[in-house]
């Protein structure tokens, strides 16, 4: 499948029709948005804007999330319209985060390297209490703890275990890396997320082992495509393993009250 058709298929299944267990989905004529059931962060995952209506719709989304008292992320893709959408979001006061590359792997013909038995100690976690082992990894890699993130993962693993698989890599029985894969009923796509590894354990094949574990599970579950939002550090790693570039994506954050 050519990149243009793949991107259109991705937009349909992973943006227009996407459902997430942890969010309430709302659809308007212009946007698809997710509302967090508590005080977590909401999202705009798809928009159909024009130069004529873009400013109005952006202002409406700000007002709506402000009434909820909920921060939200507007996730943009380079092919989104209007072409100056990112500039408009900045003008309204959104904070742009680092761009990432959207890449896809066709699981009909993945690299053999990802289909071999995994020699490292990679464990799929089914007990929600074990997810507390992720937090120290997050804190060391990203410089801060995120209890809300861990709590959401625990809830999803308890309430919708078929929608997410979480893997932790161990060295000498100590957790050193983690990653997850999300599944969506009726979609040919599954999403790869995470991939955080402690600095002292990088360059030892752990990232690739976590990738292989998720590739093998996705194939076993009949998934056709894997997607990943790759940082500049991870992009060359996954491109060497068959992932194909589709477009760039960039999140823009709005904080309640415009607090930065």
φ/ψ region of 165 (left if φ > 0, alpha if ψ in -120 to 50, else beta) reads beta
What does the pLDDT read at residue 193? 94
Neighbours of 253 (CB within 10 A): 16
Task: Say yes or no to pLDDT of 182 above 60.
Answer: yes
Task: Say yes or no to pLDDT of 260 above 70.
Answer: no
What does the pLDDT read at residue 259? 65
What does the pLDDT read at residue 148? 83
Residue 9: name the closest of 155, 98, 18 by CA: 18
Mean pLDDT over 24-51 rounds to: 94
Report whether the peptide linkage leading into residue 220 is cis, meaning its omega lies within 30 degrees of zero: no
pLDDT tens per residue, range 118-133 = 999 999 999 999 999 9
Residue 141: name the closest of 227, 201, 96 by CA: 201
User: Which tokens belong to 37?
Assistant: 């059931």
Comparison of pLDDT for 37 and 49, the residue scoring more: 49
Q: Which domains does the chain have, with CATH numbers?
A: 3-99+249-258 (no CATH), 109-223 (3.40.630.30)
Mean pLDDT over 15-21 rounds to: 92
What does the pLDDT read at residue 152? 87
Kindly report the pTM of this predicted structure: 0.91
Residue 22: name the closest of 145, 159, 147 by CA: 159
Long-range contacts of 117-123 (CB under 8 A, 24+ apart): 118/209, 118/212, 118/213, 118/216, 119/209, 120/169, 120/205, 120/206, 120/209, 121/169, 121/170, 121/171, 121/173, 122/167, 122/168, 122/169, 122/170, 122/209, 122/210, 122/213, 123/167, 123/168, 123/169, 123/170
Residue 137: name the closest of 196, 62, 61 by CA: 196
What does the pLDDT read at residue 219? 97
């Amino acid at each position: 499948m050519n990149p243009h058709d793949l991107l259109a298929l991705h937009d349909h299944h992973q943006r227009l029709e996407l459902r997430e267990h942890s969010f309430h989905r709302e659809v308007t004529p212009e946007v698809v948005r997710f509302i967090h059931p508590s005080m977590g962060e909401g999202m705009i995952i798809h928009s159909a804007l024009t130069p004529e209506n873009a400013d109005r719709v952006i202002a409406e989304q700000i007002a709506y999330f402000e009434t909820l008292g909920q921060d939200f992320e507007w996730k943009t893709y380079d092919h989104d319209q209007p072409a100056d959408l990112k500039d408009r979001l900045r003008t309204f006061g959104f904070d742009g985060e680092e761009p990432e590359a959207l890449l896809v792997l066709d699981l009909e013909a993945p690299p053999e390297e990802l289909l071999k038995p995994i020699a490292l100690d990679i464990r799929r976690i089914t007990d929600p209490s074990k997810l507390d082992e992720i937090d120290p990894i997050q804190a060391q890699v990203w410089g801060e703890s995120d209890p809300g993130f861990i709590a959401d993962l625990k809830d999803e693993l308890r309430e919708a275990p078929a929608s997410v698989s979480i893997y932790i890599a161990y060295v000498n029985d100590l957790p050193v890396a983690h990653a997850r894969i999300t599944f969506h009923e009726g979609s040919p796509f599954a999403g790869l997320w995470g991939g955080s590894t402690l600095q002292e354990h990088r360059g030892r094949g752990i990232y690739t082992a976590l990738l292989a574990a998720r590739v093998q599970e996705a194939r076993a579950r009949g998934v056709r495509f894997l997607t990943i939002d790759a940082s500049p550090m991870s992009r060359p790693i996954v491109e060497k393993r068959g992932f194909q570039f589709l477009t760039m994506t960039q999140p823009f954050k709005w904080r309640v009250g415009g607090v930065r």
